[in-house]
Chain A
Amino acid sequence: MKRLDFSRNETLVALVILGFCALATISDPSFLSMPTLTDLLRGGIVLGIFAVAAMVVLVSGGIDVSFTAIAAFAMYSTTLILVSLAPGLPWPLAFALSVGIGAALGAINGIFIAFFGLPTLIVTLGTLSIFRGFLLTFVGSKLISNLPQSMRDFSKQMLFRGTNADGSFFSLPLAFLALVGVVVLTWFILNRTLLGRSIFAIGGSVESARRIGVNVRAVQFFIYVYVGALAGLAGIIHASMARVANPFDLVGLELSVIAAVVLGGARLTGGVGTLTGTLLGVTLIVLVRNSLIVIGIPSTWQSVAIGVLILVGTGLPAWQAKRAAARAG
């Protein structure tokens, strides 16, 4: 039923990924291997969860740049609480704590956006500074490298391990399941609940949504709480996998994450965005980060490559739209 539609970003990004892999395999046949795949999947966990969160906001017609600060806040304060108060807390509870902190911070965004009606970019720009400033001033600014046992346990759990033909080890951490879970849950919310459809509806036309009786404020509030919760989850996973809680981590990633989502076809104007596209966008960014060197481009050119991808990936559809508009009477 579905034909290859080249005007869709998803198709475009998928083709670029395939092309990249083909080039990489030609220049280094060992590229096509389990370690490459597991590195890719591993590198995509935190970025992927962030991207899913950012996509939900973009679909609703907003933009959130504070989620990295929320993640850092939730991750660091959870670790601190564990270390100083409850070292024995099992990891699922620690994760729940981090998610809860994230959701609470997201609720602050939600209040300013849904109930004060402030523009999303400005609010999250402000809360980015607030969350980060609060964290570093009042919670702490020192690296915690001695993670609580439960988090270390978590990071050691693997879905599978193996040894490659050339003797290199590979493994996929349990945390990958978190990304899978987030994707499934978000898919369910977006596509199977009225709440999710309302998110799309608001992104399509806030005024129309209001006119048919969608509770726009409640939906917006939910979005930012949900994004906060996902950020909390991504944060604690990041710390567990890095085996260190660094309060300076993560912040600074926000624009790249949004870029990955837009690369995957989500529109900045709202109403359009898919999980497939988002994951493809993340895949491409991680691939470029991990493996640019394989296709003969030095890794110092990494950010140029990502920049070019963003410009081409968003520029092509924009240019097509502009030409179509000029053609139309």
Chain B
Amino acid sequence: MSIAARFAGTEARLAVIAVVVFVAMALLSPDRFLSVQNLTSMAFQFPEFAILALATTVAMLTGGIDLSVVGIANLSAIIAATILIQIAGPAAVGPDAVLWLAASMAAALVVGAVAGLFNGILIAVLGLPAILATLGSGLIFTGIAVALTGGSAMMGFPAATAWLGNGLLFGVPVPLVLFAVLALGIGFLLTRTGFGLKIQMFGTNPLAARFAAVNVTSVLIRVYVLSGMLAAIAGMVIMSRANSAKADYGSSYILLAVLIAVLGGVNPYGGYGKIIGVVLAVLSMQFLSSGLNMLQVSNFARELIWGSLLIFVMIVNSKTGFGMRRGKPAPARPRPEQSSGSGR
């Protein structure tokens, strides 16, 4: 195998794409794209949907999908907002405000975990296909959020709330720090823990996982709980950046999160995906959309370019025999008892 062939992995290609996009944008609009102002604004912008992409990625690694992440994010944010507005009140300052912010974070995480548990039970115990289970539950979470708020935005947080989405930590935007910590954490989880290894093995072949005495129910449930909690964190960031919580924030993020994950090389049929790939995909998209912004290209062109990028990467992957063959699910066997004697 030549060096070129080895280098042709999805992640390597993505790294090249990310660098090329960055350099191209820097050349096309050097003073504006490379300005501190633009770089910071990028760092504030992408973490919210990047965290949602992490949530989707974890579910997709098991061969499932989580379409309810945005619903969970908004519902968690609304519960957190209720605490911040009704209990803490907009006037809260100092340690009081910090305490309530922490409490609202905790509440959001609990909501995310419970919502994820609900998904996990639907999928692992009742056997619903993940796409339908999370589509339905997503509607329910959004619906509850609508019913709680009547559909209007909740505003009036203590000023400290803004720190989460707009603050700096040692000069680095807080959302970026949050995303970096989460990405590193999930990356560690996937590669260094038994749970992570089981997720990938289950995603590769759920049946074989069962036959290898992996506790598949527990793995699946924990995956969706994790996904729900990540969504809740994203919800908090969105809430803080918007300085409000609303049932229908970020509805376009569902497919965007899936798109980023797939672009990042995560196999939608499960079993393969690296966090570094997702990170690179997020960066490529952010560089691209920011750069295009500088070049006065309409906001909507971003979507066009994201979609083209996705299909382009898929074609390249399939041509190099990377994307498709890896993912082909085993054909349904009409005769479960037959022996597999294919003489070749």
A132 lies within 8 A of B311 (CB): no
B252 neighbours in A (Cβ, 8 Å): 252
B306 neighbours in A (Cβ, 8 Å): 129, 133
B310 lies within 8 A of A122 (CB): yes
A319 neighbours in B (Cβ, 8 Å): 126-128
**B175 CB-CB contact with A under 8 Å:** no
Of all chain A residues, the one with the shortest Cβ separation from B307 is A129
B300 lies within 8 A of A307 (CB): no
Instruction: State which size class the interface on A falls in.
Output: 35 or more
A261 to B132, CA, bound (A): 11
With contact pairs A126-B310, A307-B143 given, residues A262 and B137 touching in the complex (Cβ less than 8 Å): no
Residue from the list B132, B311, B315 in contact with A262, Cβ < 8 A:
B132
Chain B at the A interface: SS class: helix
**B9 CB-CB contact with A under 8 Å:** no
B151 neighbours in A (Cβ, 8 Å): 300
B311 lies within 8 A of A255 (CB): no
A318 lies within 8 A of B127 (CB): yes
B311 lies within 8 A of A112 (CB): yes
With contact pairs A123-B311, A307-B138, A311-B136 given, residues A116 and B318 touching in the complex (Cβ less than 8 Å): yes
With contact pairs A122-B262, A321-B127 given, residues A133 and B303 touching in the complex (Cβ less than 8 Å): yes
The smallest C-beta distance from A132 to any residue of chain B, in angstroms, reads 6
**B171 CB-CB contact with A under 8 Å:** no
A128 neighbours in B (Cβ, 8 Å): 255, 307
Q: Interface with B: A26-34, A93-101, A134-142, A231-239, which one?
A: A134-142
A125 lies within 8 A of B331 (CB): no
**A77 CB-CB contact with B under 8 Å:** no
A121 lies within 8 A of B268 (CB): yes
A130 lies within 8 A of B140 (CB): no
**A305 CB-CB contact with B under 8 Å:** yes
B67 neighbours in A (Cβ, 8 Å): 255
Of all chain B residues, the one with the shortest Cβ separation from A316 is B126
B147 neighbours in A (Cβ, 8 Å): 298, 300-301, 304
B: which residues have CB within 8 A of A?
67, 122, 126-129, 131-133, 135-144, 146-147, 150-151, 251-252, 255, 258-259, 262, 268-269, 297-298, 300-308, 310-311, 314-315, 318, 324, 327, 331-332, 334
11 A-B interface contacts by CB (under 8 A): A117-B324, A122-B310, A126-B259, A129-B255, A137-B301, A258-B135, A301-B143, A304-B140, A307-B138, A315-B126, A321-B127
Going nearest first, the 3 A-B pairs with the smallest beta carbon separation are: A133-B304, A129-B307, A304-B143
